[in-house]
């Protein structure tokens, strides 16, 4: 029997997590190769994962929305996975308290069924009373969540993948069909497309985000919605990685240069609203301004198996926008399930 290679396109958090999960379900005759333009040792505006905050905050959506239901399921499974990861400090994942403060809560936050659906699974979830939040905050909650030192975590995933026997290749693909030709002497039946934006998908677009990484420590992660509809957040990075202060969401904005005015606004909001140590005195020790491009898609992620001739398949998993970390493990499970259904992987783990 000739050797078969499964190719995963992309080494962002979705690609790395998916490749690791596939490794647990390989036939003895199968191996796995990650092909990517960027890996965790590189920095690029278009390689979003190492720039991420990253933390978990539920996103309530209408219960009738298939996208909201799918993402809620993926986020729940990922939450449980990250809780286990946090027991290994080298992963760059840590469990801490998270809070949300909303000045003008959107309608989906005022529907109790939506809130229970999105938040009830969180450890320690409770509503905040008025005397626990600033006066202008109309809706507040607290729960246990996770925060991630994203560069450390991406390197951790890649290291595990390689130690498990996975192969990597730095290569810029123009079309996913190219990936079927990269196995050398082996054959490729399955390409998993975790490329972020896909390849020319008209529904895909970037969301520019600007944040600021500071040395000032913070013991909680807080997300704040302002009355004008803008959002601010602080996310401590484990392993003394500083604190991310954000942030902006600018769809279709390709400007690669950080705005000093935006930095000034982010830090001004942080000084007012977030519990940095008193010795900070409202001043921040800035490590760097960060601009990243989140790979988003209208209607949410594309997760489907596409037959591209004979017994060849491309399994698509791209377009997570700003929720790559939050959905990653659930997406990986859903990809492997599609592979089971199409006879591309075996259901019993080989490890």
Instruction: Report the binding-site residues.
Output: 174, 294, 322
| Numbered residues of the known binding site for D-dopa | 294, 322
CA distance 187 to 151: 33
- Dihedral pair phi/psi, residue 163, rounded to 5°: -65, -25
CA distance 242 to 3: 45
User: Which residues, other chains included, contact 349 with Cβ-Cβ below 8 Å and sequence gap of 6+?
Assistant: 24, 25
| Numbered residues of the known binding site for FAD | 174
Question: Can you give the three-state secondary structure of the chain, one letter per residue?
Answer: CCCEEEEEECCCHHHHHHHHHHHCCCCCCEEEEEEECCCCCCCCCCCCHHHCCCECCCCCCCCCCHHHHHHHHHHHHHHHHHHHHCCCHHHCEEEEEEEEEECCCCHHHCCHHHHHHHHCCCCCCEECCHHHCCCCCCEEEEEEEEEECHHHHHHHHHHHHHHCCCEEEECCCCCHHHHHHCCCCCEEEEEEECCCCCCCCCCEEEEEEEEEEECCCCCCEEEEECCCCCEEEEEECCCCCCEEEECCCEECCCCCCCCHHHHHHHHHHHHHHCCCCHHHCCCCCEEEEEEEEEEEECCCCEEEEEECCCCCEEEEEECEHHHHHHHHHHHHHHHHHHHHHCCCCCCCCCC
Q: Are strands 4-9 and 187-193 parallel, antiparallel or unpaired?
A: parallel
Q: How far apart are the first and last CA of the chain?
A: 22
């Amino acid at each position: 029997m000739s050797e078969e290679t499964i190719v995963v396109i992309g080494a962002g958090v979705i690609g790395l997590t998916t490749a690791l999960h596939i490794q647990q379900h390989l036939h003895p005759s199968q191996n796995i190769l990650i092909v990517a333009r960027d890996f965790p040792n590189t920095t690029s505006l278009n390689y979003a994962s190492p720039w991420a905050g990253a933390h978990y905050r539920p996103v309530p959506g209408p219960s009738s929305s298939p996208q909201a239901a799918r993402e809620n399921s993926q986020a729940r499974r990922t939450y449980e996975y990250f809780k286990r990861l946090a027991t290994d400090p080298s992963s760059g994942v840590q469990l801490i308290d998270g809070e949300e403060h909303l000045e003008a809560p959107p309608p989906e936050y005022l529907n109790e069924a939506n809130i229970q659906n999105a938040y009830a699974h969180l450890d320690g979830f409770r509503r905040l009373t008025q005397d626990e939040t600033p006066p202008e905050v109309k809706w507040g909650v607290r729960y246990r969540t996770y925060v991630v030192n994203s560069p450390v975590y991406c390197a951790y995933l890649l290291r595990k993948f390689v130690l498990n026997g996975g192969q990597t290749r730095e290569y810029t693909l123009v079309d996913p069909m190219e990936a079927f030709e990269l196995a050398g002497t082996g054959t490729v039946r399955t390409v998993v497309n975790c490329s972020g934006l896909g390849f020319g998908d008209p529904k895909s677009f970037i969301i520019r985000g600007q944040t600021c990484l500071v040395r000032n420590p913070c013991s909680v992660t807080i997300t704040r919605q302002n009355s004008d509809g803008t959002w601010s957040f602080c996310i401590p990075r484990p392993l003394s990685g500083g604190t991310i202060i954000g942030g902006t969401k600018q769809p279709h904005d390709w400007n690669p240069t950080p705005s000093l005015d935006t930095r000034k606004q982010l830090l001004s909001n942080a000084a007012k609203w977030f519990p940095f140590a008193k010795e900070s005195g409202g001043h921040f020790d800035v490590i760097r301004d960060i601009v990243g491009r989140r790979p988003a898609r209208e209607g949410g992620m594309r997760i489907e198996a596409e037959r591209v001739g004979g017994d060849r398949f491309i399994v698509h998993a791209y377009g997570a926008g700003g929720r790559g970390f939050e959905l990653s493990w659930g997406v990986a499970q859903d990809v492997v399930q599609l592979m089971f259904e199409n006879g591309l992987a075996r259901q019993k783990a080989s490890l």
